[in-house]
Structure 1
Amino acid sequence: MFKRKVSSEEKITAVESYLNGDRQLHTILEQYGIAKESFRTWVRNYQIFGGEGLRDKHRKASYSAQTQTAAVKDYLSGAGSQADICKKYKIYSRSQLQNWIKMYNSHRELRPSRGRGSDIYMTKGRNTTYEERVEIVSYCIEHGNDYTAAIEKYGVSYQQIYSWVRKYNEKGAEGLVDKRGKRKPESEMTELEKLRAENRVLEARNKRLELECAVLKKLEEIEGRWR
């Protein structure tokens, strides 16, 4: 099965032909090279938002903190499956709902979401020390690569955080060393200092993984009620 980018118009045509009974599911999946779950998402978004729900610009939808909290509480109380809750609150994707659930269960504040194109991504970068970069990357990883939260907390740019996390994933704590400029290079840090920085980020990653395992276990229990 091949994969290619499917246009908004193709998605709408495929969903409408399926709902009208003109085409069978397996022929649509084969034509567009998509998985069954992906097509189910198209159908759900079409039923909730109409044709606009399958256009890229619709992903800019924003949700208040109250809406996020209500959706999470409804789901955790067993008021419906994830698909049911997404339909009720007009949530574009289940992954978005799942992210809110993780934040709620980890006692993190649910903030109004701005959708793509938010001015949060226009935040300018600033100079940082090695210790700051370690702290920022640790925070970002511990919180599920929540770049927006890190931008708001530390006042750095999206490009900076994305680059630091990528470099850490590629090279470890060594990737966060800034070797530019004439001041004493950070590369002269002792191995002990680098090891401490590495351990700090690894501890943050372990905390995130432990939380994700606990949340996934809870979600599986809840989803089991709707199977």
Structure 2
Amino acid sequence: MSKRKHSKEFKLRLLKEHAENGVSFYQLEKDNNLSFGMVRHWFAAYRAYGEAGLICSNSMLCRYSAELKRRVVEEYVAGGISTLDLAHKYGIRAENTVSKWVRQYNVHEELTDSRPEKGEYLMVKNNKPRKTTRDERIRIVEYCIANANNYSLAAKEFDCSYGQVYFWVKKYEEKGIEGLCDRRGRSKPANELTELEKLQAENRLLKAQAKQQQMEIDFLKKLDAVERR
């Protein structure tokens, strides 16, 4: 299989074939003489980091703390979530990275920091969860959706954890605005939201979704332009 470097445009073209035409990762790898799992790896990197994930090296992006590794492994062992979903949830660039941590755990190998902490990480792997108001959660989800569900970017912008952003977006997708209301004894219960508040919040989030859709259209146009060169 080929060991050559591939351009961002080449990677985006293959991801477009997968997204638009349903071409499997395996078929794309076979047709382009790529190593098994390479296109899936690019897909995970793009989903987690956007275009930066297709051009930055592992050493720039893949810095994981021992605490994060243990949290991911414990969630996997508890059941109910796949290694791929965990990779997406925590912004881990490759699914097999999670599988590797699970194997280490199963043979009682200590999970340690991937690299010494030097300077500011590009992503927000170690951001701590924090308490938020309902309005904050709405703003965070609005921002995340408007930026192509870039959970890391939203976590950095609002100084919260990646996992929190992921959870809130999924809750909104499942239950709408009500999914962003904390029902654990806050002073203003979720059912006290006025109809006007709900309509205003839904309108903001619908605008964010429209922005994301336009970004996707622009993205496809950009890929078409690259292919015509």
**TM class, shorter-length:** 0.5 to 0.7
Identify the match of residue 37 of structure 1 among 28, 33, 39. 28
Q: 1:125 touches 1:157 (CA, 8 Å); kept in 2? A: yes
User: How far off its partner does 1:34 sit?
Assistant: 6.3
Match of 1:206 in 2: 210
Which has the higher Rg, Structure 1 or Structure 2?
1
- Taking the TM superposition and a 5 Å limit, the aligned residue runs for 1:1-227 are 15=1, 35-40=26-31, 43-44=33-34, 96=46, 99-100=50-51, 114-115=61-62, 117=64, 120-225=124-229
Cα distance in 2, alignment partners of residues 162 and 128 from structure 1: 14
Distance 1:181 1:38 in 2: 52
* Distance in 2 (alpha carbons) for counterparts of 1:219 and 1:198: 31
Distance 1:212 1:117 in 2: 30
Q: Give RMSD over aligned pairs.
A: 3.4
3-state SS of 1:121 partner: coil
2:182 is paired with a residue whose SS is coil
Contact 1:134 1:197 in 2 (8 A): yes
Query: Deviations 1:93-139 (Å, cap 9, x if unpaired)?
Result: 697499328xxxxxxxxxx9523637722211111111100100011
Alpha-carbon distance, 1:181 to partner: 1.8
Distance 2:196 2:169 in 1: 21
TM-score (norm: length of structure 1): 0.53
Letter in 2 for 1:172: G
Which residue identity is paired with 1:167? K
- Percent of residue pairs identical: 40
Residues of 2 paired with 1:196 and 1:224: CA distance?
Answer: 42
How far is 1:40 from its partner? Answer: 4.7
Code of the residue aligned with 1:121 in structure 2: it is: K
SS at match of 2:125: helix
- Deviations, residues 26-75 of structure 1 (Å, cap 9, x unaligned): xxxxxxx963103356x4458xxxxxx96x9xx6xxxxxxxxxxxxxxxx
Task: State whether residues 29 and 35 of structure 2, in contact with CA within 8 Å, keep that contact through their aligned partners in structure 1.
Answer: no
Deviation at 1:178, TM superposition (A): 0.9
Query: Cα distance 1:197–1:116, how it changes in 2: closer, same or farther (>3 A)?
Result: farther
One-letter code aligned to 1:114: L
Task: Give the match for residue 24 of structure 1.
Answer: none
Distance 1:160 1:94, change over 3 A: closer
Count how many residue pairs are aligned between Structure 1 and Structure 2. Answer: 143
